[in-house]
Structure 1
């Protein structure tokens, strides 16, 4: 054990040297070190690819500032995300003063937390969207067992390395605060506008506030059931930062248009005066090309479009 602790930073290379036990054994240690360098380089590249996709998706969904999704003209890469991720990870390295155990502890806590969230998300989908069709089905006992095993591992890691949790909480807290501010940015803007300031500052805040609330949502419906339409409206009011909702029905023949759809939309529009509700009747097939065409013509991103939960 003492020898393992002595070579904990280059254990595989030390094992290679100890295995051959000859004057020429250095080549195996060097080969293992070079292989480890290539593997870790691939892991670093994978982390940049993964974080770029994640942050870009979150910025499109307005969970993070939209400027993070901007691309440069030369390479069309998300430079803000790449540079920001490098600065954040480098800052963590300086905070822990290059201590590999602390870095490994923070990574382990983050990994196990993400794994537990997969199980939590699965359970929420089972409860809220049980009719959602899927190819792979995991039973409740399997999901709960998986969650408990990962959670026990997370608690064990925290207990064994209690000093490392402060770094995890620091980064998690900052990220959580930014996301919560993005979800409540209309209220923050209202507060800033209320306290006033220079005229130019006020105009910029008002323009930003109006830009956020003028971005419409689009709901695809195949029924004129007022309860279904009302649920869509309530979802937008409670979860989205917009004052505009477009209800869209795609049909192939005019006789397929629900008879009471227009009447019910007009009625609901009067019931929610703070929300502007429009009805769109589109002739065609409800398929990805139609959705893409509507997104381009209406200037509504596809992630701002939604439907009811498909039946299993």
Structure 2
């Protein structure tokens, strides 16, 4: 699981930061998922090492333009590229109507390859490897945060030990690798868990933007490996943050601390903190680190690979 930030500015793009979009690469599937799609996202994708043909799912937090204005252009390019891949899009009420209106008045045929899902708090997607859930955050319009949870994996199977026990190679090995118990032809009962190493806990990521400090963000981000949280304003501009229902750097850090996350990556910075201004984003970093030391600043094209927990003991030590 690798996170790539494609846009880290709030409201409007700047010379160095595009508006909101984050990609989650899943190498084991040769695909990536997109979280928000501000204007210019497809250009950012072309400048990255991500391949648009591998885009499989898009999750939209809310209907403000700096989070959705790049969506139709990206979908059009996917169609014109001839990839024809199926794309599932998740988002708040109104997203499907917006896409249909854009398609109608731009004479664009998105066909049956685009599936739109209206989200509500709880689990919105699940398969054999991942669960995605969402919570309603606190913003001027309905906005959802997302949590992506990788399911736990069985520990490494000891094939040499299985062979030494005289277990015949074949489908039985698959059952044992999954931790199941099997009865051999000679009557012996073998427990798969006895031949597997410690379970490898799945990794978790939470994405919270746009929102002012709220309990829902803490609940969504509980014990995640990485929390991506907006930090539109500096602490001294907290009054403005409350008025506009956005977060300060210290609010993001307080969420990370309360949720006991392992790493906080802040994004969605107001252009008022651009280099050369009295306050810049590094001041926001210092404010957050005073509360939650393990904090990083996102910037466009910054990538972070979420480390895999190789066994339960290492996982416990890291926590």
Q: TM-score, normalised by structure 1?
A: 0.28
Structure number with higher strand proportion: 2
Q: Which has the larger radius of gyration?
A: 1
Structure number with higher helix proportion: 1
Higher relative contact order (CA closer than 8 Å, sequence separation 6+): 2
